[in-house]
Amino acid sequence: MNFEALHFSLSSWFLLGFIPLLLLFHVCLTKGHSIILPMDGSQVKSQKWLLILCNSAGMLPALVLVIAIFLLAGPKIKGKPEDEKIISNIQICLDSSGSMRANFGEENRYEVAMGAVKKFTEYRRGDAFGLTVFGSEYINWVPVTKDTSAIALATPFLSPDKMSKWFGGTNIAKALKGCQQQLMQQEEGDRMIILVSDGISNNPQATNDMAQELRNNDIVVYCIHIGNGMSSNEMTSLAGITGGQVFGVDNPKALEETFRFIDAMEKAKFIKKEAKEEDYYQPFSVAGLTLLGMYILSLFGLRYNPW
């Protein structure tokens, strides 16, 4: 038992400690056996060991009462410090322009990208995710949340075939601004954007300017370019300024592996959490039940039988 960490939340109960003390003094000061035995009236010489045994049995109720007072006082102990996970707030910025209809393995680029995103959210348990789709404009489809079911169910609604005509272009800077708006609402945790696109923005300088703004707000951007496996200079600059990394993928397997690689790079972070106080009844309960059991056993063998 760690006595240094032990304390009591209701120490006023210890004022009742004089009761078991009086009982103990009574047993110690009483002449003869504290428990009447059949041989007390006989001529047999008293055995010292029997006196000690009987007095010890007589003290057991007082000791049980002491344990009861300890339990009523509310014993507490500090538990072990726990590691608290720092949430990563991750905004997925997914291109949904017309070019994402292009074949990419057995599916098109958009479908493969959404499949990889869904898997990514599944093995990043405990983090918060949001989803922004973009073309010439953007839509913040899912706010940053730990409930990722909305992202999993979004695939059929955000297909390039179902988007408006004004989604036909690629405006990365505007989409990043929308992502930043979502992430800045999160007061706790890291902030990260994963940009998935197969195109080049019509205004790369605006993307560079936006990258500086993201860097000032401690938002890291990882860029994934789908297509010929070669990343654009725009994405390279964006990732470099924000402290992220750029990847070029030319097949579905490479895309999934890229998300795995990002997961490995952005491992979950933990901070030491102050240990919480916990109830510490077990040792006192065990001691109390042991003493009570001993007292009950003593009643069977150390008592006066009038028959």
- Give 198-218 pLDDT, tens digit per residue: 888 888 899 999 999 999 999
Q: CA 274: distance to chain centroid?
A: 14
Please report which confidence band the pLDDT of residue 54 belongs to, taking 50, 70 and 90 as the band edges: confident
pTM, whole model, 2 decimals? 0.62
Select from 158, 140, 172 the least CA-distant residue to 100: 158
Cβ density class 220-255: b for 16+ within 10 Å, e for less: bbbbbbbbeeebbebbebbbebbebbbbbbeebebb
State which H helix or E strand residue 57 sits in.
helix 48-72
From CA 171, how far away is CA 168, in angstroms rounded?
A: 10
Contact 69, 20 (CB under 8 A): yes
Q: What is the CATH number of domain 84-271?
A: 3.40.50.410
- In the chain, where the domains are located: 7-79+276-301, 84-271
Q: What pLDDT score was predicted for residue 307?
A: 37
